[in-house]
Amino acid sequence: MNLPQTTTQTNVSPDTRNETGTRLRGRWLLTARAVWVALVVLALLIFVAGIPAYDAQLQTLCGVTFCTPGQLTPDTARILHDLGLSPGLYALLNVALIVATTVVWFTVAAIIFWHKSDDWLALLVTIMLVTQGVVGTTTCWGERRRARVYR
């Protein structure tokens, strides 16, 4: 007796991913989300609190050999004056650019958090994005303190 042979083919897709290793559940998920929110709020507060100091720093002339990024030297102040721009407008444009860039970093982080907040790797990436957005102004504040030490 010959039985017809049927072959059963199982398709295993190479695109299937095992994401269970990066997923958070239960208390770990709530803790990770709470820590994320606390870190983002802290970063946002540091950024907002530093804007006036950064604006003031951009409007002062650098008189030493070590100048912070974006700070006016006598030569650049003269060039700005020749162009008809005041140091206040220069500082305002720089601050506006920093704020706009930071808003983009925070927005991308918020979108990722909204969609993937149960993934610890996504939370890590969003914290990196938030800190990258804040680092522009805080780096300049640190450079200003260091410049005072070297005088």
Q: What is the pLDDT tens value at each position of the chain, 151 positions in all?
A: 666 666 655 565 555 555 556 665 677 667 877 888 898 899 889 888 888 888 888 888 887 767 777 788 888 888 888 888 888 888 898 889 888 888 888 888 888 888 777 777 778 888 888 888 788 555 554 454 444 444 4
Report the length, in residues, of the chain.
151
Q: Domain boundaries in the chain?
A: 32-98+134-150
pLDDT of residue 20: 57
Q: Which amino acid is at 102?
A: T
Rg over alpha carbons for the chain, rounded to the nearest Å, is 26
| C-alpha dist (Å) from residue 123 to 77, 99, 126, 136 | 43, 23, 5, 21
pLDDT of residue 150: 47
